[in-house]
Amino acid sequence: MKRVILAGLFWAATMGGAAADGAQVFDNGCAFCHQEGGVGVAGQFPRLSGRVGVIASQPQGKALLPKILLNGMSGRITVDGQAILGIMPAFDSLSDEDIASVLSYLSGLEHAPVEFGADEIKQARAQPRLSPTEVAAQRDQLSAAKIVP
């Protein structure tokens, strides 16, 4: 019984920590472009709020997100009906934990949160490196398949 309570407390503590860290990683490294709360700038920086959760709810979309963070992305995309031709820098210097927590945090903005684990990021990091345009080509396919809104 005591074990169960302790496990519950540990879970609550680590979950709380993960959420707080994700917001902090975002505010420190991403909000400069994607804006506070991930609302984006039309035609310049894609809105992430209400979109990352949708992307992450499908396995192929969930697999794409760590690739964007680890390799960066550059190509013409359309978000909210506006074309964006920008460069998303690679954030491969962030730890697996930081990338997992920032993606978990973003998925929960205006959407039911989807949990990313550090192990998923570790696996993505072990894959061959992609160029930012290769990542954009993969995103294109998922956009055509309506996995990326």
Residue 62 binds ligand HEC (CB under 6 A): no
Give the binding range for ligand HEC (CB under 6 A) out of 4-12, 13-21, 75-83, 114-122. 75-83
Contact (CB, 8 A) for 53 and 110: yes
- State the Rg of the chain over Cα: 16
Residue 97's SS3 state is helix
**Distance between CA atoms of 84 and 78, rounded to whole angstroms?**
6
Q: Please list every residue from 115 through 134 that binds ligand HEC, using CB under 6 A.
A: none
**Helix-then-strand count for the chain, H and E:** 7, 2
Residue 56 binds ligand HEC (CB under 6 A): no
**Distance between CA atoms of 104 and 2, rounded to whole angstroms?**
30
Shortest distance, position 44 Cβ to ligand HEC, whole Å: 7
Query: Which of 23, 56, 88, 114 lies at the binding interface for ligand HEC (CB under 6 A)?
Result: 88
Query: Which of 23, 56, 70, 79 lies at the binding interface for ligand HEC (CB under 6 A)?
Result: 79
Q: Please list every residue from 1 through 40 that binds ligand HEC, using CB under 6 A.
A: 29-30, 32-34
Nearer Cβ to ligand HEC (123/133): 133
Q: Both tokens of residue 125?
A: 């990091």
Partnered with residue 145 across adjacent β-strands are: none
**Distance between CA atoms of 148 and 63, rounded to whole angstroms?**
12
Q: What amino acid occupies position 21?
A: D
Shortest distance, position 137 Cβ to ligand HEC, whole Å: 10
Residue 90 binds ligand HEC (CB under 6 A): no
* List of residues contacting ligand HEC (CB under 6 A): 29-30, 32-34, 45-46, 48, 52, 65, 68-69, 73-75, 77, 79, 84-89, 91, 102, 136, 139, 148
